[in-house]
Structure 1
């Protein structure tokens, strides 16, 4: 029997973001919920400056790049879209906290975030925790030594194909 609501996850290419995506997919699979993977973006110069000098082509390019980052996160986390769960990919032009809280708006939803270090990410987590209308699960990045993190950032799913085969 499927649980009510959906599992909404904020997706980034950081190790914490990929761990959050994997955790959210597991939660969606176990509960029978839909996994809603969200990548929020804003114009590089910010919305205020964009409104003063709008450029539709530039905004469309930013949206395409955001969609490519979302696809790349699935590729890095799973090697593609996981088959055992229903996945909805959303690219939203908004601040991350607003996009996530807007999509996880029901008490039966579950909102999953990666706990990446950094002041901006901590601010997003604080705002989401303050405004979320559903439970929020924070997933830390896996603990690796500095050199291991550096090597893993450059690794691709195909680099691990030999391990899976043998």
Structure 2
């Protein structure tokens, strides 16, 4: 982790941000950058990842090449989040990027382990039936177990069809990328 300094005898922690490429995750990254810039702290951008089918299934038939592939994809998503949120990593900040295998809640709490740290996470605003069914294990885990101050940043409020339009645009972009890769 980044080194911690002192200012006027008080410990200075890091600004730890849980990074995802969702709209709420990008809002959290922008807010984390703002907080790190405002307080002069190091920004620790964390992308937690797990095997798509879960750790229990992976342990039965482990394949290291797949794990490397998934870790590489998580690294790319972390880089892409900086591009989407701010057009690239800010040059005026000290940034530590961490890609860690494990569930997001425990990983973020372990990295933001000092009481002087600030942990920033994003939270989506589901609508309708999704609001009742949406399970947020990260948002339940972190406030209950974090040893530092937690800042929850709400994602942008979208009109009913805007989310669908954004998802469709992302799907079309992914299809275009994959069609360029295949001969």
Question: If the TM-score is normalised by the length of the shorter chain, which range does it land in?
Answer: 0.7 to 0.9
Superposition map of 1:58-97 within 5 A: 58-97=66-105
Give the SS at the match of 1:64.
helix
2:28 is aligned to 20
Task: State which structure, 1 or 2, has the greater radius of gyration over its C-alpha atoms.
Answer: 2
Q: CA deviation at 1:147?
A: 3.1
1:54 is aligned to 62
Superposition map of 1:3-152 within 5 A: 4-116=12-124, 117=126, 119-120=134-135, 122-152=136-166
Q: CA deviation at 1:149?
A: 3.5
**Aligned equivalents of 2:48 and 2:160: distance in 1?**
28
Give the SS at the match of 1:81.
coil
| Unmatched tracts of structure 2, length 5 or more | 1-5, 171-183
**Aligned equivalents of 1:65 and 1:54: distance in 2?**
18
Q: CA deviation at 1:152?
A: 4.5
Q: CA deviation at 1:58?
A: 0.4
Q: CA deviation at 1:146?
A: 2.9
Tell me the number of residue pairs that the alignment of Structure 1 and Structure 2 aligns.
154
2:176 is aligned to none
| Unmatched tracts of structure 1, length 5 or more | 156-166
Q: What CA deviation, in whole Å up to 9, does each residue of 1:17-71 have, x standing for no partner?
A: 0000000000000000000011100011111111111100000000001111111
Q: TM-score if structure 2 supplies the norm length?
A: 0.79
Q: TM-score if structure 1 supplies the norm length?
A: 0.86
